[in-house]
Structure 1
Amino acid sequence: MTTTDLHRLTGAYALHALSDEESTAFERHLAGCEACAQETAELRATAARLGLAAAATPAPAMREQVLRRIGTVRQDSPGEAARTLVTRTGRRTRTVSRWALAACLAAATALGGTAVWQHQQAQDAQDRARRATQATDDIAAVLTAPDARTRAAELNGGATGTVVVSRARDRAVFAVSGMAEPPRGKVYQLWFDDNGTMRSAGLMDSHRAEQTVLLQGAVDGASGMGITVEPGGGSKQPTSTPVALLSFPS
């Protein structure tokens, strides 16, 4: 194997594509060739950054396509004139061959797009599960608080609602059964009644007839709560007559 041959193995070495014998010979060469050492380090960094995107099993034909295309790309050795291109400003730039190799790596990494999407979906599901668990814990903390007080009431349409308040925790929970769905494009919005001034306490799940909801925000001296029908996404202030009003237990 000649010195020129060794100069051309930087890309294969960076991708661990050499045999044991070739790797040993190249590593001996690398110890005394600053140009190859720099190029190898840069190619390894490129491969590592591309690999961070994700990995996926490529289509069976991809390997043959990549190998066939690599065979048409000549890698210049560090000492050859073709190694550099001079721009109008006189700047020294990298050879096309290096970026051709990086482009091949990028093309292969692009196959990981599906894996990235799947990973994001799984991450979103985990985030939703964590939020649901936290909400369940917060609801349980109010319901089991030593100072928890409860008040039940009949709501419009035959539904029944119960509000539980813990002044020590400064939180309230609302449980409802038999709640009819709101009109299309509308939602049920919960409100704290601050002695006549309504303060948003979050939205209900409009598709569930039975649910238990932790009111968003602190009770903070509120005297009761209300429920209104609002446009999808909710409102800053009530825009309809309350379908239910409950005073908080003392």
Structure 2
Amino acid sequence: MTAVDLHRMTGAYALHALSEEENAAFERHLPGCEPCAQETAELRATAARLGLAATTAPPVDLRAQVLRRITTVRQVPPGPPAEALSVRAGRRTRALSRWALAACLAAATALGGTTVWQYQRAEDARDRAGQAVRTADEIAAVLSAPDARTRAAELADGGTGTVVVSRGLDRAVFAVSGMARPPGGKVYQLWFDEDGTMRSAGLMDPGRSDQTVLMRGVVDGASGMGITVEPVGGSEHPTSAPVALMGFPG
């Protein structure tokens, strides 16, 4: 099984569609691959949201159709064919002069000084990947909770926001689509609204107009939520008028 195969397994893994062997291999790969962890988190959240929607029974022969069509579709890895890569690599190797080789040897002496730095970066990437997976699991738990309640509203900038609350888990998730990006140097901050008193519930990603966010902290006595525009890093208390206010579903 190649690394390319593993990168393509995020969707199947999120939907529990891998074999035991594939699942084990992907889980060994996941902590060290931040892009796969991020994509898996988003796919899990999306799958959980879809689970809240009304469903229809699939045709009885759907599985047979899918399996039959799979055999007619060939997946080709991205990039040039392996033969072309081999030819190019050979040409590059022959083109190296003794001066280039000397430079490579000189550069190799610096590896000792960079090994610790690379290790720390790898550890940081694994930590971020692990956190992304844990957050995805928490989001999925809220969205699929038996007592999950949903409320959607149009935002002032034309986007659509949906809040999902599970009183049993005491957690809330906010999903938004089509939200305008904040001004430079600013970020959207979420707040729990407790009878007019705002309690920080975390920051949104300023670079994304569509996202699903696990609100930080417990719902507790909050009856709704708000969104304000704050300096990067967030604020202890709102410093601007809310761009959105939403009551929690009963």
TM-score by length of 2: 0.56
Give the RMSD, CA atoms, in angstroms. Answer: 2.0
Identity percentage of aligned residues: 73
Separation in 1 of the partners of 2:167 and 2:230? 28
Partner of 1:151: 151
Q: What residue ranges of structure 2 are gaps of 5+ in the alignment?
A: 1-103
- How many Å apart are 1:111 and its aligned residue? 4.6
In structure 2, do the counterparts of structure 1 residues 181 and 61 end up closer, same or farther at CA, with 3 Å as the change threshold? closer
Partner of 2:132: 132
- How many Å apart are 1:220 and its aligned residue? 0.4
SS of 1:222's equivalent in the other structure is: coil
Q: Cα deviations across residues 122-173 of structure 1 (Å, max 9, x unaligned)?
A: 1111000000000000000000000000000000111000000000000000
- Greater CA deviation, 167-176 or 230-239? 230-239
Separation in 1 of the partners of 2:223 and 2:106? 69
SS of 2:126's equivalent in the other structure is: helix
Separation in 2 of the partners of 1:152 and 1:216? 19
- 2:178 is equivalent to residue 182 of structure 1: no
Separation in 2 of the partners of 1:61 and 1:196? 64
Partner of 2:165: 165
- How many Å apart are 1:120 and its aligned residue? 1.0
Listed as ranges, the matches of 1:98-113 within 5 Å are: 111-113=111-113
Equivalent position amino acid for 2:187 in 1:
V
Structure possessing the higher radius of gyration over alpha carbons: 1
Partner of 2:62: none
- 2:212 is equivalent to residue 220 of structure 1: no
Q: What residue ranges of structure 1 are gaps of 5+ in the alignment?
A: 1-58, 63-107
In structure 2, do the counterparts of structure 1 residues 205 and 61 end up closer, same or farther at CA, with 3 Å as the change threshold? closer
In structure 2, do the counterparts of structure 1 residues 112 and 162 end up closer, same or farther at CA, with 3 Å as the change threshold? same
Equivalent position amino acid for 2:167 in 1:
R
Partner of 2:197: 197
Partner of 2:239: 239
Q: Cα deviations across residues 167-196 of structure 1 (Å, max 9, x unaligned)?
A: 000000000000111111111000000111
Separation in 2 of the partners of 1:229 and 1:160? 17
Separation in 1 of the partners of 2:213 and 2:111? 43
Deviating 4+ runs (over 3 angstroms): 59-62
Separation in 2 of the partners of 1:239 and 1:218? 22
SS of 2:157's equivalent in the other structure is: helix
